[in-house]
Structure 1
Amino acid sequence: MRLGVLDVGSNTVHLLVVDAHPGARPLPAHSHKADLRLAQLLDDDGAIGPDGVDRLIGVVHEALQAAEDKGVEEVLPFATSAVREARNADDVLARVRRETGVQLRVLTGEEEARLTFLAVRRWFGWSAGKLLVLDIGGGSLEIAYGIDEEPDAAASLPLGAGRLTAGWLPGDPPAAEDIRALRRHVRARIARTVGEFSRFGAPDHVVATSKTFKQLARIAGAARSAEGLYVQRDLKRESLEAWVPRLAGMTEDQRAELPGVSEGRAGQLLAGALVAEGAMDLFGVETLEICPWALREGVILRKLDHLTVT
C-alpha cells in the first residue's frame, strides 16, 4: 500500500510518501517539504500566532493535495515539539482539524525518541547489538538506548538547533560570549541525563539521525546523498571539534555555501554542532554512524506492525 507520513516539525512540514507492505522495507516514492519554522513563529507568550496558524493550514492543504496526486491511501499525520509546546496547542490542533480534516497526533518527546530508535534498530538489525541513538531536531534532542526494538531508556531534551539559535545566538555571525554561554547551557543540560544511560553499559554502536547530523557529517567529509542510502557515513568527534570554531566565525550565507548544507538550515548549523559536540563528548563517543532512517520511518514501521497483527 502507499502511505504518507505528514510530519509537522519545528523547522519543516514534510510529507514522505512510501510504498509499504508488512514484512518489507518501506520504499520512498515522493517527498514534499515546506520550510515553515513553527518554532520561530511563537509570540512572546509562547503561542503560535494567527499568521502562523494560517500558514500551517495552507501547508497542510498543499501536502494533502500532493498525497492525493501520488495515490496515497492513508496519511499518518503527527506533530512534534513546536506544536507540543505551544501555549495554544489545543486551539491550533482544533483549527487544523476543522479546516483541513487532519487530526494531528502530537507526539511526546519520549515517543519521538522511541519511534526513532525503532527505525534505527530495523535499519541496523539485531546483529548491531546495543544501540545509543541521538537525534537533533529543530526543537529538541532525542536520546535512546537499548538492545531490543523498544529502548531501555529514552529522553527528550529542549536542545533543538532551531530553538537554541533563536534563543541564544542572535548575531550573524554570533558573538563569542553568546557561543560560550550556549555551550555551557548545552553541556550542563546533557550532563544531567548521561547517568540515565551510562548505567546500561557501553553501546556497540552509536548512531545519529536527522538533517543536522547528516549535514555535519557531510561537511566533515562523508559521502554525498547522491551516492545512495547504503554508503556508510560517519561523523568523527575530532573532525567535528575542528569544524565548530570554523562554523562560529561564519555568517549564515557562508555556511549555506558548505557542501550538503541547505540554505534553510544554515543559520541553525552552529547550534546543532554545539549540541552534537557536547553529546559526543559527554557520552564518550569518538565516532557516530549516520542512519538514513529516523522518526518518519519509525511511524511507518509502527503502522506496518499494526497491520501485521490485524
Structure 2
Amino acid sequence: MSHVFAAIDIGTNSIRLAVVRIEDDNHITTLAQHREMVRLGEGEFATHRMTPEAIARGALVCARFADVARGFGADEIVAFATAAVREAENREEFIERVRREAGIEVRVISGPEEARLIWLGVSSGIELGSNRALLIDIGGGSTEVIVGTSEGYEVLESMKLGAIRLSNLFFDTPDPISPELFAKVQAHVRAVANPVARRVQQAGFDIVLGSAGTINCLGQVVANYTGHAEASPRPTPSPSLRGGITFRTADLRQVVKLLCRLPLEERRQVPGMDPTRADIILGGAAILLTFLEQVEAERITTSERGLREGILVDHLLRQEGTREQFQALSVRRRSILQLARACNYEADHAHHTAFLALRLFDELHQLGEHTYGNTSRELLEYAAILHDIGTFLSHSNHQRHAYYIIRNSDLLGFDDTEIDIIANVALYHRKGIPKKKHPNMADLNREERRRVRVLAALLRVAEGLDRSHLGLVRDIRLRREESPRRFILTLISDAECELEVWGVQNNSDLFEYVFKAPLVAEVVHPNSIELASSAPTSASGAESPGAVPDRSPEA
C-alpha cells in the first residue's frame, strides 16, 4: 500500500517542502515542492537568539507547509532544522511555536548529520563512477564539506561559516565593499576553514560539487558574466549531472571583484542574480572562493539537490528491505525505471525488447560491425525500456510522445547529450532514418548522430522480434555471409513466430541502411542451440576507442 511522506527542511535562509508518494515497490512520485525565504537566522549570530519576527515568520511558513502536506494526504511529516535553530539560545521557543501552530515536531540536527544528509541527497542524484568528489554546501549559517565516493563518505565536516552569518557580521551595508574588507573576510574564512581544508587535501578528490542556493546563484552569475561556464557539463572526469553549471575558480574571482564594486541595488540587477540573495551573496562568495583556493580546486559543478532530497532518501532507506534494493540499482537505472513506471509502461515487453536489443548489440560487436562500448550499450537498454512510454498519452505517433517525455524529464545521472541520444533512439524505433536536418538531431555532433542511427537500427529490429508482445523469441543468433554480403538472424523459439519474422522483415530498413546488407530471419528450436542469459545486463564503463563502422554516409 502506498503512503505519502513530507519533508520540511528548516534552513537559516529558506524553508523547503517536498511531498512524495512512495509505492509498495519504492517508486517515488513527487506531489509538491515549495520554497519560502524566511531569513530565520537574520540578526541571530551576533546575539545567539532568534528574533521574535524570525520565529513568527518561520512558524507561519511551517504551518502553511504542513497544511499543504496534509492536503496531499501525508501520513508522516518530518521537519529538520539546521544552523539557525541549532545555535539559538531560544530555540525551544521556536520549536514550541511550530508544534502549536503547525502540529509537527521539529528535529534539530547536528552539523555532521546535516552534512551526511546533504551528501545522501546530492550523491543519490549523480553517477560518480570511480570519482572521489568534494561536495561544498553553503547555507545561511553553516557550510558543510564532504568527501566521498559511490561507496559513501570519507570526510564529513560542518563549519560555522554561512552566507547570512558572514554578511550580517561584515557586509551589513548597501554600499560597495572595499577590497580591503573582502580580504579581511577571506582571512576570517581561512582561519575557520584551515583544519577542514587540510583534511580535504589529505583525502584527495577528482571533482568538486556545490549545492544550496548560494552556490547555484553564483554559478548563474558566473555563467552570464563570463560565458566560460558550461550548462549541463560533461567534464572529464566528471559525474553525469544534468542541469548543473560548471565554472572556474578564476572566473568566480573576477565576478566577486565585480560584485564588490556594486552597491546593493545594482547588485540585484546583475544577470543571473537572484535579487532576494543579493544582500548575502558576498558572504557566500567569500566562503566559496576562499575554500576553493585553499584546496586548490580549479572548477566546481553545481547541483540543485541537497538536504531536502537527503531527508527523502534517508527515509526511503529506513524502510524494511529497501536499502539493498536501492543500493543495487545505479542512479541512472533508478531514474529510468521511475519514469517508465510513471508512464505505466508494459514492463514485460519493454524489458524483453531491451534484452533482444542488447543481444543484437553483442552479436554485431563480435562480428566487428561496431566498436561501441558499455556506455552505448547502456543507453540502448534504457531507450528500449522507454521506447513505448508515449502510449501513455496516445498510441498514434507514440514514438514522438516518447521522445518529448524523455527529453523533458529530469533523468538523474545523465547529461543532456545522453538524454538526447536515448530520446532519439526511442523516437526512431518505428520508422524514419535519423538525419542531420531533423530538428531533434540539431544538438548532436556527427559521431553522436551516427550512434543514434546504429542504436535505433538495433532497437527497431528488437521491437519486431517481440511483435506479438508475448516474449516468444527466447534468444537470437546473428551471422554474416559474404558474396553476397547478408546477415542471417536466427530466432530461437518454441513457436513458429510468424508475426515476429514478419516484424523483423518490416523493421529491417534502418538496419540494412546502416550495415549495408540485407537482413534475413529464420526460426530454430531452442533444443538445437545454447541460449544466452535471459536477463539483460549493462555496465557503465567508457566507450571503446576507435572508429565506429557505421557505414551509412552522413545525412
Whose RCO is larger (CA < 8 A, sep 6+)?
A: 1
Deviation at 1:20, TM superposition (A): 4.3
Hey, what's the Cα distance between the residues in 2 that align with 1:169 and 1:122?
35
Structure 2 CA distance for partners of 1:26 and 1:181, relative to 1, 3 Å = farther
Compute the RMSD of aligned alpha carbons: 2.4
Residue equivalent to 1:37: 39
2:86 is aligned to 84
Q: Is 2:300 aligned against 1:298? A: no
More displaced stretch, 57-66 vs 170-179: 170-179
Choose which of 218, 221, 225 in structure 2 pairs with 1:219: 221
Which residue of 164, 167, 189 corresponds with 1:165?
167
Q: Which residue of 2 aligns with 1:268?
A: 280
The AA in structure 2 aligned to 1:189 is V
Secondary structure, aligned partner of 2:44: coil
In structure 1, what is the Cα distance between the partners aligned to 2:61 and 2:75?
19
Give SS of 2:319's match. Answer: helix
CA–CA separation in structure 1 for the residues paired with 2:186 and 2:75: 45
| Offset at residue 34 of structure 1 (A) | 2.2
Decide which moves more: 42-51 or 102-111.
42-51
- Does the 8 Å contact 2:210/2:303 carry over to 1? yes
Q: Does the aligned pair in 2 maintain the 1:128–1:205 contact within 8 Å?
A: no
Instruction: Choose 298-307 or 41-50, whichever is displaced more.
Output: 41-50
Change (3 A) 1:207 1:175: closer
Contact 2:138 2:212 in 1 (8 A): yes
Matches within 5 A, 1:169-184: 169-176=171-178, 177-184=180-187
Letter aligned with residue 42 of structure 1: E
SS at match of 2:9: strand
Is the alpha carbon distance of 1:16 and 1:259 closer, same or farther for their aligned partners in structure 2, counting shifts above 3 Å?
Answer: farther
Q: Identity rate of aligned residues, in percent?
A: 28
Per-residue CA shift, 1:47-102, capped at 9, x if unaligned?
22333322222221111122223343422211000000001112322332233321
Structure 1: state its 5+ residue gaps. none
The match for 2:206 is 204
Aligned to 1:195: 198
Q: TM-score, normalised by structure 2?
A: 0.52
Partner AA of 1:69 in structure 2: G
Cα separation, 1, equivalents of 2:25 and 2:163: 35
**In structure 2, how many angstroms separate the alpha carbons of the residues matched to 1:293 and 1:26?**
16
Q: Report the AA paired with residue 66 of structure 2.
A: L
Look up the match of 1:139: 141
Q: Distance between the aligned counterparts of 1:179 and 1:246, measured in 2? A: 12
Amino acid across the alignment from 1:198:
Q
**Corresponding residue for residue 298 of structure 2:** 286
Deviation for aligned residue 1:36: 1.3
Equivalent pair of 2:6/2:78 in contact (CA under 8 Å): yes
Partners of 1:51 and 1:97 in 2: how far apart?
17
Q: Distance in 2 between matches of 1:113 and 1:22?
A: 29
Q: Which residue of 2 is the match for residue 13 of structure 1?
A: 15
* 1:221-240 paired onto structure 2 within 5 Å: 221=223, 222=229, 230-240=242-252
Residue pair 1:45, 1:87 contacting (<8 A) in 2 also: no
SS at match of 2:153: coil
2:49 match: secondary structure: coil
Aligned to 1:309: 321
Structure 2 gap ranges (5+)? 224-228, 233-240, 323-555
Query: In the alignment, what sits opposite 2:404?
Result: none
The separation in 2 between residues aligned to 1:26 and 1:203, in whole angstroms, is: 32
For residues 222 and 27 of structure 2, what CA distance do their matches in structure 1 show? 29
Partner of 1:39, secondary structure, is coil
Which has more radius of gyration? 2
What residue in structure 2 maps to residue 108 of structure 1? Answer: 110
